[in-house]
Structure 1
Amino acid sequence: MLPWLQSYQTNLSTLVANNNLAHAMLFTGPLGIGKTTLANWLISSLLCTNSVKPCGQCKSCLLHQAGNHADFLLVDTTNTSVGVDAVRQITLFMQSTAQQQQNKLVLLANAERLTEAAANALLKTLEEPPKNGYLLLLSPYPARLSATLLSRLQHWPLAAQFDGRAQHWLEQHSNRAVPDFLLRYCSGGPLQALKMLESGKADDIATSLGVLEQFFSDKITLQDTVKPLLASEQVSLMLGFYLRQSYLPRLLQHNAERLPLAHQHYMRWCRDEQNILGQNKSLALSALLTELRRLRH
């Protein structure tokens, strides 16, 4: 188990052993925190037929590992929304008789993608959950779920990781140097940070952040700033991160009254970046950076 999830694992193990586990649970936390890892471990524990859970050796464990367990349903959430048909599938599955042992498990990732109609349909299942049925929902964006749905779920928020333990884990699992900013950039999700590290995206972001720092320190020209930034796949995310971490704290210290203007310029640029088709991206970014630098002086 991932080191920062061990305390959650211990608590869940106790609940399973004492038959006190809630029948509908919601795991939340930033992308890359390990929600799926923890949920799959819990599912394995509830499907296992041996005393040590999960044993990894019984027929039930082997079926689950092979992805062929008849008492486990993984809901397809790859589309932009999860509709009523998926909830009907969940309801029918939960009402059927378990084939291997007493428990039936459903895993619904990206729960924030439930349509309003699907969420309302799911409420009916949650109001009268079967005794042997467990529904696990995962979401990095719980605020997008309806208050009524949230009230029917036992919430397990997994804390973002920014400390030395997560940094050490990254260093152990990659042969690349781990930038100091990476966990903060990934909102405390070590698995997401590792993915960016191994793909080389962390290096690209580090380069872009360095370019911005040079620009706002008047060390390079606007042209030499815009070109490498536009080559980045995540220019809006990266620029927003730099503003929060470096630009705005300095502006707060020296020109606090200009904070609303800086925020307004950035939000307008983000809106136009998303909504204006055929926008001259170089010109728009140049205008934003010029205005932000002017506010600094």
Structure 2
Amino acid sequence: MMLLPWLERYQQQLSRLLNAQQLAHGLLLTGPSGIGKQQLAKWLVASLLCTSEHKPCGGCKSCLLLAAGSHADFLAVDSSGTTIGIDAVRQLSQFMHGRAQQQPNKVVLVSDADKLTEAAANALLKTLEEPPQNSFIVLYCSSGSALPATVISRCQQWQLAAEFSNNANDWLRQQTNRAVPDFLLTYCGGGPLKALALLESGAADQLQAALQHLTQYLQQQLSLTDCVKQLEQSEGLSQLLGWFLRRQLTLAANVSNPQRLLAIHQLYNRWCRDDSQILGQNKQLALSAFLIEFKRLHG
């Protein structure tokens, strides 16, 4: 099973621990959106279930059953809803205590583990504290901070680092015929898969155009009216404005002025709050007021 190039170092470390039988019964993968946590988790599941020496082989009965979605010793917890409730964890616990049919292990995959309710997390804790022999729970989510400290402490933690390297940019260029903007990986928080999705959907082009319009407005090359008109068509405007604001503050010489810095942050936070909470708000007027004040504070 080929993994994304930046995941290979984690693959090698996990393989060594697996071969040495030093993997914990609970494994937690965390990292930014678009880094490949799901792919690494699925590779780990396949490796734990594979019965061959070189794991995962893809050809043994266990691997074929897993690929067909009919492996009796594998359970994927449903995380499609807004939360993962206690009933799902009870099912998990019951599954874990059954005997493995294919050998050697029974494995549970919990995606978006940060959706666990407090009651579900507490129930999961009991299984993590007293795991059945040859059983493993693989969890992944963007941030482990949403999980109780007691759950985290009973898992072997794997923090996947954000990718801003030239290798990640090279990989992006190999996956698409579209031009890759220099800022895209940074905007995506070091998640190449997220960046690729923006490229393939055409959203990256819209994003680049919106950032250009903001820059032109600050440089008095574009009128307020035209800037607002262009930005209104942008998806994820809050994220876009927040990222542009941070970049401008990093580049600006007046970043050392703490009062101005605080005023800009308060301006942005207020705009985000009003945009999400005030029903029937005049979006054009609110955005215009934000841009005027930001331009004044930016200097």
TM-score range, shorter chain: over 0.9
Q: Which residue of 2 aligns with 1:265?
A: 267
SS of 1:187's equivalent in the other structure is coil
Whole-Å Cα distance in 2 between the matches of residues 159 and 55 of structure 1?
27
Whole-Å Cα distance in 1 between the matches of residues 196 and 283 of structure 2?
30
Superposed displacement of residue 225, structure 1: 0.7
Contact 1:251-1:259 within 8 A present in 2 as well: no
Question: Share of identical aligned residues, percent?
Answer: 55
User: What amino acid is the match of 1:119?
Assistant: A
Contact 2:25-2:135 within 8 A present in 1 as well: yes
Whole-Å Cα distance in 1 between the matches of residues 53 and 187 of structure 2?
42
Match of 1:280 among 272, 279, 282: 282
**Mean CA deviation greater in 138-147 or 252-261:** 252-261
State how 1:92-107 maps to structure 2 within 5 Å.
92-107=94-109
User: What amino acid is the match of 1:231?
Assistant: Q
Match of 1:3 among 5, 8, 20: 5
User: What amino acid is the match of 1:296?
Assistant: H
Contact 2:51-2:104 within 8 A present in 1 as well: no
Superposed displacement of residue 296, structure 1: 2.2
Contact 1:255-1:296 within 8 A present in 2 as well: no
Across the aligned residues of Structure 1 and Structure 2, the Cα RMSD in angstroms comes to: 1.2
Superposed displacement of residue 255, structure 1: 4.9
Match of 1:13 among 3, 15, 37: 15
Q: Which residue of 1 aligns with 2:126?
A: 124
Structure 1's 260 and 82: CA in aligned 2 closer, same or farther, altered over 3 A?
A: same
Whole-Å Cα distance in 2 between the matches of residues 235 and 176 of structure 1?
23
User: What amino acid is the match of 1:92?
Assistant: Q
SS of 1:135's equivalent in the other structure is strand
Structure 1's 252 and 145: CA in aligned 2 closer, same or farther, altered over 3 A?
A: farther
Structure 1's 31 and 247: CA in aligned 2 closer, same or farther, altered over 3 A?
A: same
Superposed displacement of residue 253, structure 1: 4.2
**Structure 1 alignment gaps of length 5 or more:** none
User: What amino acid is the match of 2:123?
Assistant: A
User: What amino acid is the match of 1:117?
Assistant: A
Match of 1:224 among 201, 223, 226: 226
Match of 1:292 among 280, 290, 294: 294
Q: Does 1:27 align with 2:33?
A: no
Q: Which residue of 2 aligns with 1:58?
A: 60
Structure 1's 266 and 48: CA in aligned 2 closer, same or farther, altered over 3 A?
A: same
Match of 1:133 among 129, 132, 135: 135
Q: Which residue of 2 aligns with 1:166?
A: 168
- Number of matched residues? 297
